[in-house]
Amino acid sequence: MGRRSRKRPASAAPAGTPPAPPGERRARREERDAALRAGLTPLAPGERPTPLKVAAGLAAVLAVLNVLFYVAGVDVEGEEPALAGVLVFAVIMLVAAWGMWTQRYWAVLGFQALLAITISIAALALMVAGNLWAVLLCLATIGLGGWLFWSLVRVLGRMKVPRPPSA
């Protein structure tokens, strides 16, 4: 196909307009970032936004349920899970819950990484879901996990905002 036969995107700059230089784009981006940062207020000592409470609670519940399911003898795909794996997962979740509850940046960031992995696995599982229940479970995991992930982004931003000096 010749160049004239392709449509140009509506947002494309006119042919004679050169693109903005990298320095100018960087300056605009920095201005926008500074404006967004100015709108963030630091977390007060002991303040726990709702997404942080939900994430800490979810981590604690997952740790306890994982151990309870093992004790109850629940099989995973016809096999009994290894005790070491169950305990390692439970410890990781309990440490994450404690870290998030005490406003540790590394804990929230680590939990977000686990959420991202879970969302990705649920999206891949959605492609091979064999029944309506599996589809609904995957969609719920993607939707709720995505909401929690996105909500924790703002919490992380507020955790990094420096506190103003006390007068």
The 10s digit of each residue's pLDDT in 95-127 is 999 999 999 999 999 999 999 999 999 999 999
Give the single-character DSSP code of 76.
Answer: B
**Residue 147 reports pLDDT greater than 90:** yes
Classify residue 76: in a domain, yes or no. Answer: yes
Classify residue 41: in a domain, yes or no. Answer: no
Domain count, the chain: 1
Classify residue 29: in a domain, yes or no. Answer: no
Classify residue 166: in a domain, yes or no. Answer: no
Whole-model pTM: value is 0.74
Q: What is the dihedral of CA 111, 113, 119, 121, to 10 degrees?
A: -120
Chain centre to alpha carbon of residue 12 = 33
36 near 42, Cβ under 8 Å? no
- Residues of the domain holding 112: 48-160
Classify residue 132: in a domain, yes or no. Answer: yes
Classify residue 92: in a domain, yes or no. Answer: yes
Classify residue 119: in a domain, yes or no. Answer: yes
Name the token pair of 56: 């800490």
Residue 16's pLDDT band, with cuts at 50, 70 and 90, is low
Which residues does 129 contact at the CB level (< 8 Å), separation at least 6? 135, 138
- Distance separating alpha carbons of residues 41 and 14, to the nearest angstrom: 41
111 near 77, Cβ under 8 Å? no
145: enclosing H helix or E strand = helix 132-160
Classify residue 133: in a domain, yes or no. Answer: yes
